């Protein structure tokens, strides 16, 4: 099994891994009872981290940063041709399939989505233990959250799946994972996709790096400005870095 290699894209931490190595590392860490967090990075996260010191620090301090977006995979394959895309929904599904009774806590999503997600997961993965779930109102720039920390610790969970969206989930994990005593995984839109409240892009769009276009068609008003900015910035940063002009970005 290929080892996970700490790497970067455009100066931001994104590790080279396969789905197998990522899942094995996360579950091993969770079974040892170690606290920490895992970021699932895409183009939006990488470009945002260039301008957001807190997010950049959260990625740097993570146990693992996987490559969710295909453009990140393509960048990393120049140095690590064996890597795979480790996207939030796929990672969440794989973790649930391999958890083997490891108690899991679901944090985030609308209450109805979280309830439906728990039902879907327990029906899909016999033996999966959902220790608890919570859909608290969390600030856009979250800090210490003693109430949720206490709730997670009391549940006996060993792994927390966090579906708050970027950068809220990364900032929440960096501020609270140690206090929970649990390994936290930021899985973004995976809650909606696995609960079935949103449809995922066809496989060919995922492989072609066009999953963002499918999401844009579903939520143009919310995601249009985000994708316009992040995709253009990512392309510009690639040019700037290739020309050795990073200080101008």
- pLDDT tens readout for residues 174-206: 999 999 999 999 998 899 999 998 878 788 888
- Give the list of residues 6+ apart from residue 32 with CB closer than 8 angstroms, or none: none
pLDDT at 140: 86
Read off the pTM.
Answer: 0.91
| 49 membership: H or E segment, kind and range | helix 43-49
Residue 1 has pLDDT above 70, yes or no: no
- What does the angle CA 59 – CA 63 – CA 69 come to, to the nearest 5 degrees? 55
HSE of 118, CA atoms in CB hemisphere, 13 A: 19
Between 29-33, 121-125, 201-205, the lowest mean confidence (pLDDT) is in: 201-205
Tell me the average pLDDT of the chain. 91
Q: Over the stretch 65-111, which tens digit does the pLDDT of each residue have?
A: 999 989 999 999 999 999 999 999 999 999 999 998 999 999 999 99
* pLDDT tens string 140-180: 899 999 999 999 999 999 999 999 999 999 999 999 999 99
- Cα distance between residue 75 and residue 52, in whole Å: 21
Confidence of residue 247 (pLDDT cuts 50, 70, 90): very low
- Whole-Å CA distances, 13 to 9, 29, 62, 72: 6, 20, 9, 11
Checking if the pLDDT of 235 tops 90, the result is: no
pLDDT at 244: 64
Name the pairing type of β-strands 8-9 and 130-134: unpaired
* Predicted pLDDT at 48: 95
The conformation of residue 68, written as its DSSP 8-state character, comes to -
Whether 249 has a pLDDT exceeding 50, the answer reads no
pLDDT at 200: 80
pLDDT of residue 245: 57
| Phi, psi of 79, rounded to the nearest 5 degrees | -105, -25
pLDDT for the residue numbered 248: 45
pLDDT confidence bin for 225, thresholds 50/70/90: confident
């Amino acid at each position: 099994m290929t080892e996970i290699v700490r790497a970067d894209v455009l100066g931001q931490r994104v590790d080279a891994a396969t789905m197998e190595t990522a899942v094995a590392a996360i579950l091993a860490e969770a079974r040892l009872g170690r606290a920490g967090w895992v970021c699932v990075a895409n183009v939006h996260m990488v470009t945002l981290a260039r301008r957001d010191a807190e997010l950049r620090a959260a990625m740097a301090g993570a146990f693992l940063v996987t490559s969710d977006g295909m453009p990140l995979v393509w960048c990393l394959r120049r140095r690590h041709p064996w890597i795979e895309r480790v996207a939030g929904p796929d990672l969440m599904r794989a973790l649930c399939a391999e958890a083997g009774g490891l108690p899991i806590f679901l944090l985030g999503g609308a209450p109805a989505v979280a309830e439906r997600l728990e039902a879907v997961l327990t029906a899909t993965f016999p033996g999966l233990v959902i220790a608890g779930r919570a859909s608290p109102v969390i600030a856009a720039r979250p800090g210490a959250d003693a109430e949720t920390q206490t709730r997670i610790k009391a549940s006996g969970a060993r792994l927390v799946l966090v579906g708050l969206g970027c950068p809220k989930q990364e900032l929440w994990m960096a501020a609270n994972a140690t206090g929970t005593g649990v390994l936290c995984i930021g899985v973004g839109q995976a809650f909606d996709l696995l609960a079935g409240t949103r449809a995922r892009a066809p496989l060919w769009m995922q492989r072609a790096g066009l999953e963002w276009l499918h999401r844009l068609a579903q939520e143009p008003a919310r995601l249009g400005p985000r994708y316009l900015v992040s995709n253009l910035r990512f392309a510009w940063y690639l040019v700037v870095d290739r020309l050795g002009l990073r200080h101008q970005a």
